[in-house]
A and B are shown apart, each in its own frame.
Chain A
Amino acid sequence: QQQVKQSPQSLIVQKGGISIINCAYENTAFDYFPWYQQFPGKGPALLIAIRPDVSEKKEGRFTISFNKSAKQFSLHIMDSQPGDSATYFCAAFTMRFGAGTRLTVKP
Chain B
Amino acid sequence: ETGVTQTPRHLVMGMTNKKSLKCEQHLGHNAMYWYKQSAKKPLELMFVYNFKEQTENNSVPSRFSPECPNSSHLFLHLHTLQPEDSALYLCASSPDGRIPVLNFGNGTRLTVT
Contacts and interface: CB of A to CB of B under 8 A. Distances in A.
A and B are interacting partners: yes
Interface of A: 2, 32, 34, 36, 41-46, 49, 89, 91, 93-100
Interface of B: 2, 4, 33, 41-43, 45, 48, 90, 92, 94, 100-107
Given A2-B42, A97-B43, A43 B100 contact: no
A98 B42 contact: yes
| Chain A interface, DSSP helix/strand/loop, else mixed | loop
Contact of B100 (A34, A41, A42): A34
Contacts of A96: 45
A41 B33 contact: no
Given A95-B33, A95-B48, A46 B102 contact: yes
Contacts of B2: 43, 45
B45 A41 contact: no
A43 B101 contact: no
B100 A100 contact: no
Nearest to B31: A95
Contacts of B41: 99
Contacts of B92: 43
B42 A43 contact: no
A34 B42 CA distance: 16
